[in-house]
Amino acid sequence: MKNLIQLIASLASVLILFVGVMPVQAETSKYGGWLKIITESQPKVFGYPSQAGHRDHYYMQGCLEHLLDFDKDGQTIPKLVTSWDISSDKKSITLHLRENVKFHDGTDFNAQAVKINLDIVRENSKNYLKEVSSIDVVDTHTVVLNISEYSESIFNTLASRPGYMISPTALENNSAEWAKTHPVGTGPFKFVKYERGVSMEFVKFDDYWDEGKPYLDGMKTFIIADKMAQLAAFRTGNGNMLRLVQPKDAAGLKEEGYEISANPGIVKGLAGDSKNPSSPYAKKKVREALEYAIDKEAIVNALGFGYSKAAYQDAFPGTFAFNSDIEGRRYDPEKAKQLLTEAGYPNGFKTKIIARGTLWKNVWVAVQGYLSDVGIECEVDLADQARYVDLKFKGWKNALMEVDIGYRPNWILSINHHLADRSSDHSSMLRPAGFDVVIDEALRTGDLKVHTKVGQELGMMIYQDATFAPLFTWYKTGALDRVNDISLNYPDQSRWYPGQAWLSK
């Protein structure tokens, strides 16, 4: 009996030990290893936020941190700012900063550092923080933004690229020029070196404020321009993460057993020069005919490889702005011909598709075929980046322009950025009357209900005017090999979280 009790007690002890030890092992097994990333483009400015571009944002993550961050609905959440108060008259915003945070050079992250950083943004940018008239330091960890006109975009700015914090000491000891390619932030990884066009290296920051993180020892990014070489490098184990993969390659890698991260990327469509009264696209019936003429489902089935869906409105499915009341103009070539006849083009007309580069060439060739079927003869003009941006900015004539609406969880920001009438982007495209007024209504508040209502209203306005012909949504795909919890391209395209990532052994 005694032996039996001893046996049971021993077994119980072993079980308790086993149960107790297992989670610890799982935790500790997260530590170590280098994340090797393969990417296609090289950054320009990644250490001086006010001069960095949208594409540079990706390269700053892990090293620099924003004051705020976004959740999956695009609502701002704490990061280096732990909480904030808006004064009752909406004339000031008080930011309460996280304590015990240090920059990589040992400088304390405090109110003065925030003021210096935000003042640089205000001085260098005409777009960001224009509503902020002055910044006061109240105490070491409290900053007050005095504002001339309240706008929700202030919070969006603090959660975006201009909201990145860099060490004021490093900036003072060096220069803005130096800082452009030498980021000194508060993030989980310290910058080591950058060799232009080759690689970037970051190492774990031991004094990171979020205790226990990061799990990785460091991360190295390899810049490989050629797609084929990228895939070969990934497949041969030269990378754990392929940042951007084309749908066809993503499908192939998935079959080989790699994990594919697919998150909302863009809504791609076409916009005619509808502002030009002499253009066929000035007529609404022509714009509608355009959509009816194209079999989006067939294009997506042939070229999407499961990472694309036919689009019938401007908003990404799943976002608060997606309007289920919009039925969409489904493929109907007969109706397209009828509309063209009613618009005064019974025999169609000649036009051009201006596309950015060759990446989506097959899509444009398919669209060219569908338009030809209804009598619209179009040539495909694959413009290089510089010419494409120039045309988008200065305008185009008697042509359709490739338009991307980049996904942001707060869809209002996407619409404001790409389609607002005040925007210089897509300057030849007509916007519905009063479009910007509706956008501004949403920007004045952070209320998700208002954003939802306004977002859907904006979608309906665009749909009814048919000035933007949505073609398909594309889920931004990346490939992962043994990488966990990195949230690649989530909650928006330029975000990922190396600080929480870990490698399976």
Partner 1 sequence: MVSYLIRRLLQAVLVLIIVTFVIFTLMRVLPGNPILMYVADDEINEVTPEELALLEHQFGLDKPLHLQYIEWISNVVRGDLGTSIVYRSKVIDEVSSALPKTLHLGALAFIISALIGIPAGVISAVRRGTWLDTIMTTCANIGIAVPVFWMGILMIYLFGFHLRWLPIFGYVSPFEDFWLSTKHVIMPAFCLATFTMAAAARQTRSSMLEIIRQDYIRTAWAKGLGEFSVIMGHAMKNALIPVITLMGMHIRIIFGGAVVIETVFSIPGMGRLAVDGIFAQDYAVIQGCILIVAIIVTLSNLVIDLSYGFLDPRIRYN
DSSP state of 61: B
- Minimum distance, C-beta of residue 225 to partner 1, in the bound complex (Å): 5
- Minimum distance, C-beta of residue 421 to partner 1, in the bound complex (Å): 11
Query: CB of 119 within 8 A of CB of 133?
Result: no
306 burial via Cβ count (<10 Å: 0-12, 13-18, 19+): middle
Nearest to 147 by CA among 92, 95, 87: 92
Query: CB of 353 within 8 A of CB of 378?
Result: yes
- Minimum distance, C-beta of residue 213 to partner 1, in the bound complex (Å): 29
Query: CB of 401 within 8 A of CB of 429?
Result: yes
- Minimum distance, C-beta of residue 338 to partner 1, in the bound complex (Å): 37
- Minimum distance, C-beta of residue 47 to partner 1, in the bound complex (Å): 12
- Bridge partner list, 379: 352
Query: Please, what's the largest Cα pairwise distance for the chain?
Result: 101
- Minimum distance, C-beta of residue 483 to partner 1, in the bound complex (Å): 20
Spatial distance between the Cα atoms of 137 and 143, rounded to a whole number of angstroms: 5
**Do strands 34-39 and 218-223 pair parallel, antiparallel, or not at all (unpaired)?**
parallel
**Side-chain-side CA neighbours of residue 485 (13 Å):** 12
CA distances from 236 to 230, 231, 240, 477 (A): 10, 9, 10, 19
End-to-end CA distance of the chain: 45
Residues 147, 149, 151, CA angle at the centre, nearest 5°? 95
Specify the DSSP element, H or E, that contains 20.
helix 2-28
- Minimum distance, C-beta of residue 443 to partner 1, in the bound complex (Å): 14
- Minimum distance, C-beta of residue 501 to partner 1, in the bound complex (Å): 23
- Bridge partner list, 37: 221, 241
**Do strands 241-245 and 34-39 pair parallel, antiparallel, or not at all (unpaired)?**
parallel
- Minimum distance, C-beta of residue 304 to partner 1, in the bound complex (Å): 25
For residue 235, what are its two tokens? Answer: 């497949």
- Minimum distance, C-beta of residue 498 to partner 1, in the bound complex (Å): 21
Of 238 and 398, which has the nearer Cβ to partner 1? 238
Local structure of 97: helix, strand or coil: strand
Spatial distance between the Cα atoms of 447 and 442, rounded to a whole number of angstroms: 8
Of 15 and 389, which has the nearer Cβ to partner 1? 389
Spatial distance between the Cα atoms of 502 and 505, rounded to a whole number of angstroms: 9
Of 33 and 239, which has the nearer Cβ to partner 1? 239
Of 98 and 476, which has the nearer Cβ to partner 1? 476
DSSP state of 66: B
Specify the DSSP element, H or E, that contains 288.
helix 284-293
Spatial distance between the Cα atoms of 403 and 321, rounded to a whole number of angstroms: 19
Start-end of H helices in 180-259: 227-235, 247-255
Chain contacts with partner 1 (rule: CB under 8 A): 42, 44-45, 51-55, 125-127, 161, 177, 180, 195-199, 222-226, 228-229, 232-233, 235-236, 238, 384-387, 389-391, 393-394, 417-418, 420, 422-425
- Minimum distance, C-beta of residue 388 to partner 1, in the bound complex (Å): 8
Of 59 and 205, which has the nearer Cβ to partner 1? 59
